[in-house]
A and B are shown apart, each in its own frame.
Chain A
Amino acid sequence: MDTTGPTPDRAVRPGGARGRSGGLRDTLEGYAFAGPFLVAYGLFLIYPFFKGIWISLHDWNLLAVAFNPAAKHFVGLKNYVHMVWGQHLVWGVDHLVWARAIGLAAVVAALALASRGRLPWRTAVPLAVVGVLLFGVALGIHPASDGRWYDRRFWHIVWNTLLFVLLTVPSVTVIALGLAIALNRQSRHAAALRTAFFLSQVLSVTVVTLIWQLMFSPKQGILANLFRTLGLQPIEWITNPQLAMPAIVITTVWWSIGFALIIFLAGLQEIPAELYEAARIDGAGGWRIVRNITLPALSRTTTLVVVLQIILQFQVFGQSHLITRGGPDDSTQVLVRYIYQTAFQNSRLGYASALSVFLFIFMLGFSLLQARLQGSD
């Protein structure tokens, strides 16, 4: 990095930098400081983002276009229709009835909380509207017996991705929080344990998957070997559709607990010691201190961990790609791997871009939801 810096000649005159009015100098200096980032931002994020949307409106074969730039065809929203829609779709009350009932119950609960003043209306109403549209209407749509989704795999893969996030994020958060509370003390022993639990975080995804692929192997795996010595049948993790997803969740939790642990430890160290003293004088025991002091004080830290985890885990790729290859029967196929394969295996760049835009909207939706809920704290 060069250290000459921007606008040295302009800034030498003292006093000028004090202008707080948004004058010409401030404007120039502001853009000079923010400039390098803004250039990278525009070039490597904003421009490709809109280019991606543009590609998604085309029938665009990776290889064909590479040899002949004119080989792409504008198809409008066809890729999106193909992705989310189908032939002979019908709406049924009873389709996915339990999931929808639970969802609608949550909507009712949110409204109930709002009416008691526990949740602001400005949070509850948008939530309820989205919830009713999603659970009441959208999830009731399904193909009739003679119908089909245009992309038969898509919604299943969306669900897998969501399931992965729903299993991973709470596990990582709860385990990291528990360990942080237990290990937040000044002893060599605790420090050693903190190191042990953090260690796996520094391994790269390929090392992690390399180890766990073998850990789970019914022939070579350490668990299998242990089971066999005990005279038990080894568990077939990776090839069992019920266990393949848990297997990559376990791998992910093992791998990504370290960073969450450290953020929690940092949060714990910011809680003033006087709070604990006061509680102790009041005669509060260990669990009550945790519940009444530690957890409330950590609420913002917890939000931070959850948000970071959600963003990270939605983009899961390596674990699915390297351990289970999306299988068996697509049970661990996730969105990013589907995007990768659509683009680079099937060469369908247009459709892959449409999938990427969907992932963006999906994550944006979650972020907004999270922001709404957080805003109501």
Chain B
Amino acid sequence: MKRTLTLLMAALALSLGATAFGQTEITLGRFFGACEQAGTDIKSAVGEACIIQSIINAFSAADNGIKVNTLPTDWGNYYDQLKAMFAAGNPPNIFVIHKHAIPEFASLGALADLGPDLAQVGIDPNDWTAAGKAAVTYDGKIYAIPMDVHANLWYVNMDIMKQAGLVNADGTPMVPHSPEELLQQAKIVKEKTGKDYLTADFSQFPIGVRLVLSLVWQQNSELFTSTKANVDSPEAKKAVETIVSLFKGGYADPTLNYNDSMQSFINGNAAILVNGDWVVNSLDAQTKDPKVALKHFYVDNFPTLFQTPATWADSHTWAIPSTLKKQNPDEYWAALKLAKWIYDHDLDWARTGHLSVSKSVIANPAYAALPHRQEYANTVNIARDVKQTTHYDAIQNVLNRQLQAIWLTDKPIDQALKDANQQVQDILDQ
């Protein structure tokens, strides 16, 4: 009798425990910056950090038995810390990872092969665009769930362009079609308005690298393949010279970092901003502030200065550590459910300015109706990314260092490209 009672109590405790303590807590790693004021109201959030955090918060608050604990939001050290966490044996249960970093992590066996389990949580890879699918596929396996394609855009301050007379009859800004036209426009802007022609982060994050990559692709060349560095090519030189001509003419300032360049554009000190599509939303919010000098801006596709249209692009995707499914299946499935939730909110994420990777979102009229979206509608067709390599981060560091040496320290272009070529080759040979 006593024994039965004990058993009964135990069973009761277990079932109670299952409901009361059935919460699965998962950890999530991401960058995009902190948004501490994010609530669960996804619709009202503005900017990358707040939109993604409100999506996560809403999932965590929903009645699904899953709590989400968001880990570091540090940009500069994100991948270092992710690797450190993996090495210490406690990676986040789900984390954001760039398309370009998937080969490195997947080849070392760090990422779970999600392909077989997607259907179980209701994710349909057939809804992904070709670019989305390519982003998460390595060696034939699906290692992540795509969230966007993000590309470099051509942000245009329309008031400055009007003043310079560089606006078409239909109200769209004139775009350059060759390096010569680019320089000519720059000259006109400078003469007519006294403003800088172009601003971008040339001194901090690798946005200059992305610019050069785009211009190299436009000439049907590559800076490197999976085995061979090709940085000291005539095409690369031409691309770099095009950018340097803007600095030499005083039409752009290479010393600005990310924030400086944003401030410069917002303050109406530059006609063009080259930056990723993630600032469409926040720039739009800024123009509503009457004190901000930037009143009207147009978001154009990155212009084609050479033969083939191309602009740099990458993807944010969500991956899960390979060890999780065996160690803790509950957390694994919870993480997958969160990935589905995020994917289901791809339209909200697209508000940042990012390009959706969901066919159903793209077909949704609300997507096309997002601010400025029509202006850069063609970007999805010209977006390109680097060839898959397990060393992209290291290569990007080399390129950024050598390109900054060119525009910040006047290092001769030939020398810098030659050095970069050797160093990239060293990395590829490792």
Contacts and interface: CB of A to CB of B under 8 A. Distances in A.
Interface stretch (B26-34, B78-86, B121-129, B337-345): B78-86
A344 interface: yes
Nearest to B253: A218
A65 B87 CA distance: 8
Given A63-B110, A220-B260, A345 B394 contact: yes
Contact of A344 (B83, B256, B264): B83
Interface in A37-76: 61-68
A328 B108 contact: no
B203 A328 contact: yes
A217 B261 CA distance: 12
Main secondary structure of the interface of A (DSSP, over half): loop
Contact of A239 (B79, B83, B109, B255): B255
Contacts of A62: 83-84, 87
Contact of B408 (A220, A241, A325): A241
Interface in B107-125: 108-110
Interface string B66-87: 0000000000100111011011
B372 to A, nearest CB: 26
A63 B203 CA distance: 30
Nearest to B205: A325
A376 interface: no
B279 interface: no
Given A238-B203, A345-B79, A346-B394, A67 B110 contact: yes
A370 interface: no
Contacts of B402: 329
A213 to B, nearest CB: 9
B237 interface: no
A239 B254 contact: yes
A327 B84 contact: no
Given A64-B108, A345-B393, A218 B255 contact: yes
A239 B256 CA distance: 8
B422 interface: yes
Interface residues of B, number: 39
A238 B258 CA distance: 13
Given A238-B203, A327-B404, A344-B80, A152 B422 contact: yes
Interface in A313-346: 325, 327-331, 340-341, 344-346
B183 interface: no
Contact of A219 (B88, B263, B404, B423): B263
B83 A347 contact: yes
A148 interface: yes
B133 interface: no
Nearest to B323: A67
A66 B87 contact: yes
Given A219-B264, A220-B260, A63 B408 contact: no
Interface in B233-263: 254-257, 259-260, 263
Contacts of B110: 63, 67
A62 B254 CA distance: 36
Given A62-B87, A239-B203, A330 B419 contact: no
A347 B83 CA distance: 8
Nearest to A219: B260
A240 interface: yes
Q: How large is the interface on A (under 10, 10 to 19, 20 to 34, 35 or more residues)?
A: 20 to 34
A325 B204 contact: yes
B405 interface: yes
A236 interface: yes
A239 B408 CA distance: 6
B105 A63 contact: yes
Contacts of A65: 87
A329 B260 contact: no
B89 interface: yes
B79 A63 contact: no
Q: Which of A148, A327, A330 has the most CB of B within 10 A?
A: A327
A329 B405 CA distance: 5
Contact of B86 (A63, A148, A152, A240): A63
Interface in A324-377: 325, 327-331, 340-341, 344-347
A325 B203 CA distance: 10
A50 B421 CA distance: 37
Nearest to A153: B423
A347 B204 CA distance: 22
Nearest to B202: A239
B177 interface: no
B108 A67 contact: yes
B408 A240 contact: yes
B84 A344 contact: yes
B410 to A, nearest CB: 9
B108 A61 contact: yes
Interface string A121-162: 000000000000000000000000000100010000000000
Nearest to A322: B76
A341 B76 CA distance: 12
10 contacts: A63-B87, A66-B89, A219-B256, A240-B409, A241-B408, A325-B204, A327-B404, A329-B404, A344-B81, A346-B393
Nearest 3 CB-CB pairings of A with B? A329-B405, A239-B255, A344-B80
Given A62-B87, A241-B405, A328-B408, 5 more contacts: A63-B83, A217-B260, A238-B203, A239-B404, A345-B397
